[in-house]
Amino acid sequence: MLEIGKQEADAAARAIMSGRLFRFGPGDECAKFERELAEKTGTKYALVVTSGTGALICGLAGLGIGPGDEVIVPAYTFMATPAAVVAVGAIPIIAEIDESLMLDPADVEAKITRRTKAIIPVHMVGLPADMNGIMRVARRHGLKVLEDGCQADGGSYKGRRIGAIGHAGAFSFNYYKNVTCGEGGAVVTNDPTIYERAMIMHDPGTAFRDHRADLSIEPFIGMAFRMNEIQGAVLRAQLKRIDGLLAKLRTNKRKVIAGIAGTGLKLVKQNDPEGECSTTLALMFDTEKKARMFVTLLEKQGVGAGRPINSGRHVYSNWDPILQKRGGHHPAMNPFRMPANKGSKVKYTKTMCPRTTDLLSRAVFLGVRHSWTAADVRKRVEAIKAAARELAGLRLR
Do residues 291 and 285 make contact, with C-beta atoms less than 8 angstroms apart?
A: yes
Contact 184, 55 (CB under 8 A): no
Q: How far apart are CA 50 and CA 30, in angstroms?
A: 11
How many other β-carbons are positioned within 10 Å of the β-carbon of residue 27? 20
Cβ-based burial of 331 (10 A; exposed 0-12, middle 13-18, buried ≥19): exposed
Residues in the chain, total: 397
Secondary structure class of 143 (helix, strand, coil): coil
CB atoms near residue 46 (< 10 Å): 24
Angle between helices 374-394 and 229-259 (to 10 degrees): 50
Query: 40, 117, 177, 253: which one is catalytic?
Result: 177
- CB-based contacts of 322: which residues, under 8 Å, 6+ apart? 79, 82, 83, 86, 92, 94, 316, 348
DSSP element (H, E) containing 131 = helix 131-141
Active site (annotated) includes residue 177: yes
CA–CA separation, 89 and 78 (whole Å): 19
Q: Report phi then psi at 132, rounded to 5.
A: -65, -45
Helices 6-18 and 229-259, packing angle to 10 deg: 170
Residues facing 70 on adjacent strands: 91, 116
Q: What residues act catalytically?
A: 177
